Amino acid sequence: MTLPRRWLDDDGASSAVRDVLRSDRSMDPPDGAEDAVWLGLAAKIAAGAAVTAASVGTAKTAAAATTTVATSTAATGTTATAVASGGLLKSILIGAFGGVIAVTGYTAIAPSSAPEPARAAAVVAPPAVKDLPVSPGSKGVSRSGDEVLAPRKDEPSVVPPSAADAPPSSGAPPSSTAASTSSAAPIDAPPASTDASGAAAPAPGSPEERASRLREESDMLNQARAALRGGDTAGTMRLLEQARQKFPGGVLGQEREALAIEALAKSGARAEASSRAAAFIQAHPNSPHAARLQVFVQK
Within 98-117, which residues bind other proteins (CB under 8 A)?
Answer: 100, 103-110, 112-113
Radius of gyration of the chain (CA): 23
- Indicate the DSSP class of residue 223: H
Closer to other proteins by Cβ: residue 10 or 176: 10
C-alpha–C-alpha distance, residues 111 and 102, integer Å: 12
Q: Which of positions 260-289 make contact with other proteins (CB under 8 A)?
A: 262, 265-266, 270
* CA separation for the pair 171, 54 (Å, rounded): 48
- Which is closer to other proteins, CB of 127 or CB of 248? 127
107 vs 254, which CB is nearer to other proteins? Answer: 107
The answer to the question of residue 27 lying near other proteins (CB under 8 A) is: yes
The Cα–Cα gap between 103 and 98 comes to 8
**Which one, 39 or 243, has the nearer CB to other proteins?**
39
Query: Smallest distance from the beta carbon of 248 to other proteins, in angstroms?
Result: 26
Strands in 126-232 per DSSP E: none
Residue 167 binding other proteins, by CB under 8 A: yes
Packed helices 88-103 and 253-267: angle between N→C axes, nearest 10 degrees: 20
Question: How far is residue 131's CA from residue 164's CA, in Å, rounded to a whole number?
Answer: 32
Which of these segments, 131-139, 174-182, 203-211, 212-220, binds other proteins (CB under 8 A)?
Answer: 131-139
Judged by CB under 8 A, the chain residues 225 through 264 that form the site for other proteins are 228-231, 262
Burial of 268 (0-12, 13-18, 19+ CB in 10 A): middle
Binding mask 44-83 for other proteins (x = CB under 8 A): xx---x--x--------x--xx--x---------------
Distance, first Cα to last Cα, the chain: 65
Least Å distance, CB 183 to other proteins, is 24
Q: Which is nearer to other proteins, 71 or 286 (CB)?
A: 71
